Chains A and B, each alone.
Chain A
Amino acid sequence: MKKIRFAINVIKIFMKNQVQDITNILLDVFNMFSRCIVVFLLYAYIFKLNNGVVNGVDFKTTIWSMFIYFCIMILNIRRLDNIIMEDVQSGNVEMYMNKPTSYLTLSFMRTLGQGLFSFLLISFIGSIIMGLFIGIPKLNLVIFIPTFILTFILGQILGLLIYGTIGLLSFFVQDIRPIHWIVDKFVMILGGSYLPISMFPNFMKDLAFISPFGAINFASSTVFDFWNKEFIVRLIIQIVWIEVFVVILYIVYKKSKEKAMVNGG
């Protein structure tokens, strides 16, 4: 209970800090708006060329899927590895590791806190605008609402674990950026950023289904018809990957701590 309260407090502090910085929030809104406008106009044109349907999916559903992906990106858990790398390079990490609170928990909550306000604000306003201008896709709300929330939370936990692992690699590798780029691109592509999930070729669909990088953004698949049949399997896949990465992160963190102590001593 004490740990949960601590985690919530850290999130609150960073969230309040973000709220103070209006320029950054406006920039997030502007970035999201410009990105959405470009992508939506592009795909509106593509769908028009194909009589409104591509691979059996209509424009409305595709755009909602991409919108969900963009909203998740606003939360920006992808910055976690960079935060850890900066702490390692500056030497601050050793100071944090000597504290009674877990450095990883602190970094996770810090990352969430930094993006949470923009995420909530933009998702809320964006959803209303999307509903008014694009319309709402046909959804089975009984399945959609609970599974969306669940898959979103599981996806973000998995994301934190993956990016946290990459961040800790900075104890062993001089520059983790190449690893970040490659993993990040997988997450981006398999989440449906540039190419919507409905347009994926079969091998990419399989990869998005089975790989941990695709599992981070399962939330963007919740608007498609196939979700109603696959949600149980997909949630299980997310849980399995979370367990795998908890083990990996635990091992890497333990090794990193040893390394930090050696360097610090």
Chain B
Amino acid sequence: MGSLRLAVLNIKKNIANAKELKLSFMITIFGMAINNISFLIIWYYFGKTVGIINGWKPLDIFGLYGFSTTAYGIISSVFAGIFDIPTYITNATLDNFLLTPKNILLKISTSKVRTSAFGDLLFGIICFIVFTVSNKFTFIQYLLSLLLIIIVSIVFYSFSLFSMTVSFYLMDGHNVSNGLYGIFVSNSIYHGGAFTGILRLVFIILVPSLVVGALPVELVKDFSLMKLLVIGLIAIFWGVISVSFFYKSLKRYDSNSLFGFGS
């Protein structure tokens, strides 16, 4: 409980810090939202050119971005610290987190906010509203969507953590971690209808890109308890794997990896 209170305080402090640079804060948020619109344009016209693919209509792309960028926005805005794990390892600044009490992972996760991710969050919510209005959602579908956003956010956090943790095993792990994370994110915003066969399985199980975007869209449009269970189980699987992988890898950490004389 104490760790949670500390995490909330951390987040509050980080947001207050970011807000101090008001102009930069606003430009970054709206810049990112505008930046995301470009993807919508691409996939909307893609849908219009090739028609309906595996039941995916052009407007469904709003649902894909609604789920994926909302989850990305939530995790990357307030838990942005996990993306700095490779830097903390290289700079040996992980010591700061290890030498104090409370939950290490929570402290690292909330050590930073990413201002641009608030833009993604804003964009994701707008997309989600467009998607729900265009599909005339029922109350149950709204509730299901909220549940899915929570599950999807867990998957997003878990796989991001997993990718960043890989850097414990490499000399300069930034690039490998970011490369792995890049594969996960870039495929989560691809048109969901085009993933079939083995490719679909790979991006559900091995790299859960489809779980954070395409699968939730398909589920809210055509509910199936089986699909919900699969998504839930994948979230639990990646949650457990990533956290245990992080703590196991943490044992490899040694601040002596930093060469230098004082600071």
Contacts and interface: CB of A to CB of B under 8 A. Distances in A.
A55 interface: yes
A41 interface: yes
Contacts of A27: 175-176, 179
B49 A201 contact: yes
B240 interface: no
B28 A178 contact: yes
B201 interface: no
A123 B5 CA distance: 52
Contacts of B129: none
A177 B119 CA distance: 13
A235 interface: no
B45 A200 contact: yes
Given A31-B182, A54-B50, A195-B45, A23 B176 contact: yes
Given A27-B179, A31-B183, A182 B34 contact: yes
Interface stretch (B8-16, B88-96, B187-195, B249-257): B187-195
Given A23-B172, A49-B53, A54-B49, A178 B35 contact: yes
A34 B183 contact: yes
B46 interface: yes
A232 interface: no
Interface stretch (B19-27, B64-72, B142-150, B227-235): B19-27
Contact of B24 (A34, A174, A185): A174
Contact of A181 (B32, B46, B170, B199): B32
A23 B170 contact: yes
* A43, A49, A178 — most chain B CB neighbours (10 Å): A178
Contacts, number: 88
B138 interface: no
A250 interface: no
B21 A31 contact: no
A175 to B, nearest CB: 5
B31 A177 contact: yes
A175 B24 CA distance: 7
A55 B51 CA distance: 12
Contacts of A188: 38
Chain A at the B interface: SS class: helix
B99 to A, nearest CB: 28
Interface in A155-196: 174-175, 177-179, 181-182, 185-186, 188-189, 194-195
Interface string B173-188: 0011001001100110
A124 interface: no
A90 interface: no
Nearest to A184: B35
A38 interface: yes
A67 B95 CA distance: 44
A49 B171 CA distance: 46
Interface in B129-162: none
B10 to A, nearest CB: 22
A194 B50 contact: no
13 contacts: A23-B175, A41-B199, A45-B194, A45-B196, A46-B53, A46-B194, A54-B50, A175-B24, A175-B27, A186-B38, A189-B41, A189-B42, A195-B43
In the complex, the 6 A-B pairs of residues with the closest C-beta atoms, listed nearest first: A178-B31, A181-B35, A185-B38, A42-B194, A174-B24, A195-B42
Given A27-B179, A30-B179, 17 more contacts: A27-B176, A38-B187, A38-B190, A46-B53, A49-B53, A178-B30, A178-B116, A179-B31, A182-B31, A186-B38, A194-B46, A194-B190, A195-B43, A195-B45, A199-B45, A199-B46, A201-B48
